[in-house]
Each structure stands twice: as structure tokens, then as C-alpha cells.
Amino acid sequence: MPAAAVPVAPPPARRPPLTLRRGVTGALVTALVAALLALVPAPAAEAAPVLLSQGRPATASSQENGGTPAAAAVDGNPGTRWSSSFSDPQWLQVDLGGPAAVSQVVLRWEAAYAKAYRIELSTDGTNWSTAHSTTTGAGGTETVPVTGTARYVRMHGVTRATGYGYSLWEFRVYGNGDGGPVLPGGGDLGPNVHVFDPATPGIQAKLDEVFRQQESAQFGSGRHAFLFKPGTYHNLNAQIGFYTQIAGLGLRPGDTTINGDVTVDAGWFNGNATQNFWRGAEGLTLNPVSGTNRWAVSQAASFRRMHVKGGLNLAPDGYGWASGGYIADSKVDGQIGNYSQQQWYTRDSAIGGWSNSVWNQVFSGVEGAPATGFPEPRYTTLATTPISREKPFLYLDGNEYKVFAPAKRTNARGTTWANGTPQGESIPLSRFYVVKPGATAATINRALAQGLHLLFTPGVYHVDRTIDVNRANTIVLGLGLATIIPDNGVTAMRVADVGGVRLAGFLIDAGAVNSPTLLEIGPQGAAADHAANPTTVQDVYIRIGGAGPGKATTSMVVNSDDTIIDHTWVWRADHGDGVGWETNRADYGVRVNGDDVLATGLFVEHFNKYDVEWYGERGRTIFYQNEKAYDAPDQAAIQNGTTKGYAAYRVDDSVNTHEAWGLGSYCNYNVDPGIRQDHGFKTPVKPGVKFHSLLVVSLGGMGHYNHVINETGASTVPAGTSTVPSTVVSFP
């Protein structure tokens, strides 16, 4: 965060499918049978088989064309398929990732099916045994019981039923992955989730108690979530400290009203709000006591689905320093007072007005936003957000907890809830494994393998192996800034190249042993088209050092196409414990290899080399905030060949199309103020690569930039110690 600012008042074409067979159902259940069955003692319940194959690596003997890969048969999407070349024999196999007790295979054929085929099992991928064989395959959906232990399962087609190849919409393998117990979904939310209704006594006292614990606990282990059931609450002032989330449990913000305030201020830090990190507010309507609510935050502090019936002040009491934040899907009836906020991003909201601009205020899809004025006033405004899908959230449907997964919007403007119930899907909590402190990575992965989503309750979780999210449409949702720490140098979380995964509301904290990566979205070489159902990463924060020694070579790698990064702070710590040029070494922040990736609200700071590197085509960024590493010991430490310094945001020379709006990079080389950075931004000069509203700032003259982007833009040296931005309106 800035420390020295001066406050101022389409998919590939396919062969058309043949006419599909339709199954005939003829089950007749009579009242008499039902009555008789009611008298028969129920058998002991047996655990249902677990879907093991979805999202796992799949290979095949051939594929018909580029739009029908093997992976399409195990992606959980009923509209995608694998199809082979038009010859016999052909096979499709899936790697379950480890030995499993296999009990059932489901084949959902397209019209081109197998008349004769075998289901084969293998533990090594070389030696195979036959678990099922038929010469009378019927097509449609075939459910095949099998018995055996295998890591690899194969459909071996012997004879085709048509002149085409073999074609499977879905190839599903069920069983028990590791012999452990089947885990239940749902359950209580643990001791650090505080649920209130309007009749709950002592709400203010509980809010105050937790705030006393969390107000200055910047690197503490406490984690809390305050959840308010629908209703109206009076005379509350919820002061929100570190690792604290406050949220309404209604489907719409208007379901839960607080006649009072949800406050963030900076008294703990002498009126300086530049370290008010890691907190959030969601899903509430506020009637502020004074008419204006105070929300003086910096990075990693989201304000989502909020309705403020009044104004919103983003500065601390006394208008001291403040360093950026994020608003989405919210309505503020009155004016938002930006005051000393150096940078801010507001998305898909409605506001009554906005005052002041410091360095970098960006809006997309915001009704009432000021017009673009960059470089003065420093507003960058897009009428719509090209693609957005709001963060999933917990709510109450009557007395039942559910998670709502909002629908994707294109060219979005305004809130999702202005016209009533938002669009999306409700998922019962019974379909989530509720993760509580003490849960192991093995247990978490077993829950995922069973087909459960994850709800992390507030706490700190050490994992000794990677959390593998392999199933399409999986939700991983954290409450109260739940924190995952990888031990022994593992990657904390990986997502397969599947569609619709939603990661939201948690912090990944690097461990003491270097991890090559901390979060991976898709494997290397991922190429599936997810435009219709993208993966989203929302309010997911990454930290290296600060809470103790931590190291990671690259923090976040995005390989999957069409991924949406919607508000993240990826931070190599500049203060706290375990901080030093080599102590919390982290060379790269975010690397994007996937195509058509969109970042809305990207905060990446202090990495030893490149903060952001972009290799994918057609990438877009709306709002970027960066600081170069404060603690570079000298010019030689950041020398990049013949270039002085590593760019804050680099687009690779191979990229032909890229566009970004509202980007800022700041330097504060406080160990060696003589350091020079050739530029903040580096990009190929091509017609399809465009940048809008860029700036670089030397904080108090502690180091300087020679240019803004490439060799364009004035040096910050003429401003001396005045902390005045050098700007470029558009490039090239």
C-alpha cells in the first residue's frame, strides 16, 4: 500500500448429431404397493457411490475433430462430447488419480454408439483386465455395474453401431476413491460464525468484543463472520476489524436492514487507513445514523451487494491517508466521498455521485459514475462491464441455508438486484462439505471427490498436499477470510480445465518452504473453451510473508481460457514478520497464459521481478493497482538484462490483442532511493494492443520511473519529492 501519499480534500463446428434414441419409462407405482412397502423394514443405509471421473485427465485413441476431445466426456457438461475417428477399434480412458474401488460406469452415448465394447480396469495404465463385456450395446444411457480396484478405467470399443465413430456425451466412473468414509454435507457453521436475528440479545456487545480482538490484529490468527438473518436491526455500529466479514442472510440486500452503521476507521493506526486490509461487507441495507457511512479501507476489503440509504465516506476520520478498495453490485443513494483514497474501483453499481480524484479512480457499469476525465480529474469510466458474474454467497431460504450462485451477465450495468430477485442458482448447504479448523487436505479432497462443494468456516488451515478442484461448477467459498497455508512447498490449490468453478472469499498464505505456485487455474496447456461458463476468482487474496516467513516463485497462474479474476490482492509483504528481499522471496505475482481472460479489480504488489505477466490472447484488465518492491537493495538487484527494473505489468511480445484501462504503478524504493525503473508498463506495439489511462508515481522521490509505458511518458524525476503522477492517456 502507498505509504507516502499526500491526502487531498464461438465453439468449434461439429458434425450434426444423428437422431438420439429416447429411453422408454414404464414404471407404475400404485398406492397398494406403496402401502405394502411401508410395512417392510428398511435395509441398512449404504453409502452412495462417489463420482470419481469428472474433471480427471482423459485420453483417447483418436478424436473426430478439435471440438470433440477426450476431456469433453468427463467435464460434467452434458452438451460437450468425445467422438472418435470412423474406424474400429477405439478407446477412451480416464485417470482417476489414484487407486479406487470402482463400482459403476455410466455411458451416455450420442447417436454414434458402440454395439460391442468392453469396460477395462488397470492400476498402471498398461496392464488391463475386463470388468464388463457386451456385444449387444443399446446406446442411449447405459449403467454398467463393475467390481474392481483401478486407477485407470477404459471404454474399449470393438464394433460401432453406425458408420460414424464412437461418441460419448459423458463417461462417468463411480466408486470409493480412498476407502475412507463418505463425508456428510451441511452441518453447523462452527464457533467463529456469529448468526443473529432481530431478537438476539447482546448483538452490539458481541460486535464490540470481536472488534477489540481484531482491530489491530493485522497478522493474527482470529477469523470471524457476522451473519444477520433477514429482518430489521436498530441502533447498531458494527466496527469491522481484520479478518472479519459482515453479511446479510437474505437473497437481496433489502431483506436485512441495519438502522445504524458498518464502520471501518483507522484509529488503531493514528488515522492512517493504508493498512486496513482483509475484511468485507455484503448483502445489507444501511440507514447510517449521521446520513453517511464510513468505510475507510485499503486492499483486500470488498463492499458487495450493499445498499446505503445515504452517503459513503471512503476516508478515515481526519481525512488521513487511504489506499484503495473495491465496490460491486451495490447502490449508494447519496454521494461517495472519495477524499484521500488514492485509487478505487467500482463495478456494476448505482451511485448518487462521486467526489474528488487522487490518482486512479475507475468505474465500469456504474449508474451515476462521473465521466472519463483522465488525466484530470483522474476518472476512467466504462459504460458497461463486458462480462461479470457476482460472487456466490450464503443465504437463508426459510430456515434452510443455501448458497446462491449468481448468473453470468454480459455488458452489465447497475446491480443484479435492482429489479427484484437476482438471476442464478440456489444450492442447498447439504451439497457442501462444511470445512472446519483441523480438517486435512486429504479430507477436503475426499469431499470434492464425492461431488461436494466446499464452505470454509473462519479459521486457518494448513494443508500438506494440494487441494484439487477437478469437477466443473464446483464452488469453494470462504467465510471470515478463511486462510489456507501450504506446508512443505506444495501448491495450495489447483483447478482442472473445467468450466464454472467459483473460488471466493479466502486467503492463501505462503508457507515457509518455497512453493512453485500457490494457486493454479487450469493445467499447463489448458485449451478448453469456457466462454459460456467461465471460472471466477473473487475476493481471493494471496500473501507472501507478513504473518511469518513465506516464499513462492509464482503466486497465481491462470491457464484456463475465459477465466474472470474479479477483485484480488496478491501481495508480497513489505511489513510484518518474515519480510526481506530474500526472506519472503517471490519473483512473480500473476501469470496469465489462458486466452480471453478478464481481470476486474487487479491489485498486485511488491514482487521481486514481474508483478503481472500476460501471455494469453485477448486479455482485458479493468483497473490495476501496483507498487514495486520497496526493499530492493540496489539497482543491480532489479536489473533486467539491459532494462532497469521489471515492469509492473508486462504483455509478452507474442501477444497480438490485449486491452487495459485504468492502471497505476508506484515506487517507494526506501532502501536505495537512487534506483531507477525504466518503465511501469511493457508491451508490444501492435494495432490490437491498447492501453488507456496509465500513470506512474514516485512516492516522495524514493526512486523514480524514466517512462510510463515502454519509452512513452515523462519521467517522474521533474516532480522530485512532490509525489506527482506522470500520465499517459492512451497507448499507442
| CA–CA distance, 145 with 139 (Å, rounded to integer) | 16
| CA–CA distance, 389 with 475 (Å, rounded to integer) | 13
Dihedral sign computed on CA atoms, order 244, 249, 251, 255: negative
Tell me how far CA of residue 314 lies from CA of 120, 320, 443, 584, in angstroms: 62, 11, 42, 31
- What's the 3-state SS for 310-327? CEEECCCCCCCCECCCEE
| CA–CA distance, 454 with 465 (Å, rounded to integer) | 16
| CA–CA distance, 310 with 289 (Å, rounded to integer) | 9
Residue pair 64/83 in contact (Cβ under 8 Å)? The answer is: yes
Residue pair 147/131 in contact (Cβ under 8 Å)? The answer is: yes
Helix, strand and coil percent figures for the chain, each rounded to 5: 5, 45, 50
- Which of 348, 322, 349, 321 is CA-nearest to residue 333? 349
| CA–CA distance, 320 with 16 (Å, rounded to integer) | 64
Bridge partners of residue 705, in order along the sequence: 677
Cα 727 to the center of its chain, rounded Å: 31
| CA–CA distance, 286 with 471 (Å, rounded to integer) | 38
Cell reading at 581:
528481499
Q: Count the Cβ atoms, other than its own, within 10 Å of residue 30.
A: 8
Residues 6+ apart with CB under 8 A from 401: 186, 189, 394, 395, 428, 429
Is 627 an annotated catalytic residue? yes
- Out of 120, 390, 613, 627, the active site residue is 627
Helix (H, G, I), strand (E, B) or coil at 440: coil
Cα 124 to the center of its chain, rounded Å: 35
- DSSP labels for 642-703? TEES--SEEE-TT---EEEEEEEEEE---S-TT-EEEEEEE----TTEEEEEEEEEESTTSS
Cell reading at 575:
511489513
Cell reading at 163:
458408420
Cis peptide bond prior to 732, omega within 30° of 0: yes
Dihedral sign computed on CA atoms, order 62, 67, 70, 73: negative
Cell reading at 700:
516522495
| CA–CA distance, 456 with 478 (Å, rounded to integer) | 5
Tell me how far CA of residue 62 lies from CA of 90, 106, 166, 401, in angstroms: 7, 21, 10, 45
Q: Amino acid letter at 84?
A: S
Catalytic residues: 627
